[in-house]
Amino acid sequence: MKLTLNLKSLKRLSWPDRLLGIALMTLSLVVVLNGRPPAMATSLEGQTWTGASFPVENFQAYTSPFGFRHSPTGGRGYEFHSGLDIAAPEGSYIRSWWGGTVVEVINDSGCGVGLVIESGDWEHIYCHLGGQVQTRLGRRTLMDRGGIQVVEGQSVPSAARIARVGMSGRTTGPHLHWGLRYGDRWVDPALVLRAMHRDR
């Protein structure tokens, strides 16, 4: 039913946008049929996930999945959503998915206040956080009223509280946008969560 509705909506687009839409829908269908992104099949199979942590306390719902979607803020056409949106009450703690090093503290109009943590070949990205970004001793730092302070270059263990859910950046409500990259490829966090669940 959803595929039919999307095909009907393509008729209202110009030819270049229509061709892009068809390509995006085909890619999404391949991912659904395979059950995982093809580029990550071997990497997910070989991983042990017992050291990983679910990234949000006070979980409420998954509000937007990984992949192509209509813009949630009223834009036209499709956009690639590079993570999984996890709703939780504003101020809920966010935990580091895996131990690693904070390689970037973000402050922009899309992600808002955010963090990038590197764990080997993996990067985990956290967006729409509460707090503010300051530069201290030449390093960007996430400062939170709840006492959290995360600095670029800092090591964090798995499950450490690293931030709180906010509404910074481009968002329609309080949630964590959680993205995962393996090498230079985006990975669907839902697939990783399923793999983590199997290991528990």
pLDDT in tens, 78-123: 788 899 999 999 999 999 999 999 999 999 999 999 999 999 999 9
Return the pLDDT at 190: 94
Q: Which CATH class is domain 40-199?
A: mainly beta
Whether residue 25 has pLDDT greater than 70: no
Q: Is the pLDDT of residue 1 over 60?
A: no
Between 82 and 29, name the one with better pLDDT: 82
Residue range 28-47: average pLDDT? 41
**Tens digits of per-residue pLDDT, 115-124?**
999 999 999 9
- Coil/strand/helix, residue 52: coil
The H or E element containing residue 150 is strand 149-151
Backbone angles phi, psi at 160, to 5 degrees: -65, 140
| Cβ–Cβ under 8 Å, residues 161 and 53 | no
Instruction: Name the residue among 70, 89, 88 with its Cα closest to residue 79.
Output: 70
Write the pLDDT tens digit of every residue in 53-81: 999 999 999 998 998 877 666 666 778 88
